[in-house]
């Protein structure tokens, strides 16, 4: 277990018990993300940093013919995810522990095919080398695949004092927005001949970015 995994387990050891009930307000736009993921969905989907599996369970219920895969570095979060998946009776969700900076999900889950959709929901901002995680995501995406990232943005539409307070608050959870991130997504999209789109949520509190091959 590396230091980052220990940090994540430290954050979620207690929080995982009330995570799903308390994140509706702080992590807006996830339902919009799931709507977009679900558009014409077939095949296989990967969530990087799946946490308690909230997103995967919603999708797996809506799309029983699709296989869903989730990777997360925190075994604490995955304990909760596993319990909730078993309780839900859903059999098309597969989760495993791994670091998005180093993992090869296709090897990990023994899937030969590429993923039709890969998404990061409020996880990229917690991953120290997020560029590596993005490369990994792009690398296991199929030819006509789609990659989505929803995460905290720079809160430019908010008063300065609130913005500073939020940055401090996010820091407590090892969450950060790196200026220039969106520009880098755009370059990555160009390099991979993908269309790029970014959508602001609540005055740039968060963004939803799409890279579509």
Ligand X SMILES: C[S@@+](CC[C@H](N)C(=O)[O-])C[C@H]1O[C@@H](n2cnc3c(N)ncnc32)[C@H](O)[C@@H]1O
Residues that bind ligand X (CB under 6 A): 4, 8, 23, 27, 30, 49-51, 54-55, 71-74, 77, 99-101, 121-123, 126-127
How many residues are recorded in the chain? Answer: 213
For residue 103, give Cα distances in angstroms to 24, 32, 73, 123: 29, 27, 10, 15
Closest distance to ligand X from the beta carbon of 202 (Å): 16
Closest distance to ligand X from the beta carbon of 9 (Å): 8
- Residues β-bridged to residue 150: 121, 208
The token pair that represents 18 in the structure block: 């009330």
Closest distance to ligand X from the beta carbon of 42 (Å): 22
- Cα distance between residue 20 and residue 156, in whole Å: 27
Closest distance to ligand X from the beta carbon of 184 (Å): 18
Is 46 or 211 the residue whose CB approaches ligand X more closely? 46
The token pair that represents 127 in the structure block: 């991953």
Closest distance to ligand X from the beta carbon of 30 (Å): 6
In this structure, what are the phi and psi dihedrals at residue 146, rounded to the nearest 5 degrees? -130, 140
Provide the phi-psi class of 26: left if phi over 0, else alpha when psi is between -120 and 50, else beta.
alpha
Q: Which residue is nearest to ligand X (CB)?
A: 51
Is 49 or 137 the residue whose CB approaches ligand X more closely? 49
Cα angle 44, 175, 74 (rounded to 5 degrees) comes to 50
Is 59 or 159 the residue whose CB approaches ligand X more closely? 59
Is 139 or 159 the residue whose CB approaches ligand X more closely? 139
Is 29 or 190 the residue whose CB approaches ligand X more closely? 29
Is 127 or 211 the residue whose CB approaches ligand X more closely? 127
- Cα distance between residue 100 and residue 131, in whole Å: 10
Q: What is the CA radius of gyration of the chain?
A: 16
Closest distance to ligand X from the beta carbon of 196 (Å): 21
**Which residues, in sequence order, are CB contacts of 89 under 8 Å at separation 6+?**
none
């Amino acid at each position: 277990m590396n230091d980052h995994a220990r940090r994540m387990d430290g954050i979620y050891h207690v929080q995982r018990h009330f995570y799903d009930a308390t994140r509706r307000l702080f992590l807006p736009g996830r339902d919009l993300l799931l709507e977009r993921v679900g558009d014409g969905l077939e095949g296989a989907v990967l969530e990087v940093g799946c946490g308690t599996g909230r997103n995967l369970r919603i999708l797996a219920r809506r799309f029983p013919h699709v296989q869903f895969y989730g990777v997360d570095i925190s075994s604490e979060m995955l304990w909760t995810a596993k319990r909730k998946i078993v309780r839900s009776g859903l059999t098309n969700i597969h989760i495993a522990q791994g670091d998005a900076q180093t993992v090869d999900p296709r090897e990990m889950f023994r899937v030969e095919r590429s993923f039709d959709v890969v998404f990061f929901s409020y996880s990229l901002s917690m991953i120290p080398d997020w560029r590596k995680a993005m490369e990994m995501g792009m690398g296991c995406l199929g030819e006509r695949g789609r990659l989505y990232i929803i995460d905290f943005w720079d809160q430019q539409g908010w008063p300065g004092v609130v913005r500073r307070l939020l940055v401090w608050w996010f820091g407590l959870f090892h969450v950060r927005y790196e200026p220039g991130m969106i520009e880098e997504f755009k370059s990555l999209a160009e390099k991979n001949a993908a269309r790029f789109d970014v959508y602001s949520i609540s005055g740039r509190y968060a963004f939803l970015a799409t890279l579509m091959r």
